[in-house]
Amino acid sequence: MKILGSILLIFVLSLAVLAQSQDQSSSQSSQSGQSSQSSQSPSGQGQASTGTTSSSGQNMSGTVSHDRKNFTNDQNSKSYKVDNPDALSGKEDQHVALIVHVDPDNNAIHVIQVAPPQ
């Protein structure tokens, strides 16, 4: 019985380590977007009325360009370059709500999630 409990404990701990390593690898690719996001939050620039969440990114709503390479934010009519246009496949020329990481230095966004507008 002790062996079974030990094996179960090791399994649970290994799952936690794997989940942590996946979270770290995804946050490293968008680390600059998250750091700029915290400096941008107080001004509310580029945010939809739903606000932001620190772990998943910034909410925006707007229109996707015909080639999916640009996105125009409804709130301030600012246009952003989309660094992963494949995430917007099938949403060309449509109004959508996005969860994104913003890179203000390059005026670019990385799309995390696409949803119908609210």
CATH number at residue 69: 2.40.50
Q: Give the residue numbers spanning the domain of 83.
A: 31-115
Round to whole Å and give the CA distance between 48 and 52.
8
Residue 35 reports pLDDT greater than 60: no
Q: How many domains does the chain have?
A: 1
Residue 88 reports pLDDT greater than 80: yes
Round to whole Å and give the CA distance between 50 and 59.
7
Round to whole Å and give the CA distance between 108 and 110.
7
In a domain, 103, yes or no: yes
pLDDT bin (cut points 50, 70, 90) of residue 25 is low
Residue 75 C-alpha from the chain's centroid = 18
In a domain, 48, yes or no: yes
Q: Structure pTM?
A: 0.52
DSSP string, 61-84: EEEE-TTSSEEEETTT--EEEES-
In a domain, 21, yes or no: no
In a domain, 102, yes or no: yes
In terms of pLDDT, which residue wins out, 95 or 10?
Answer: 95
In a domain, 8, yes or no: no
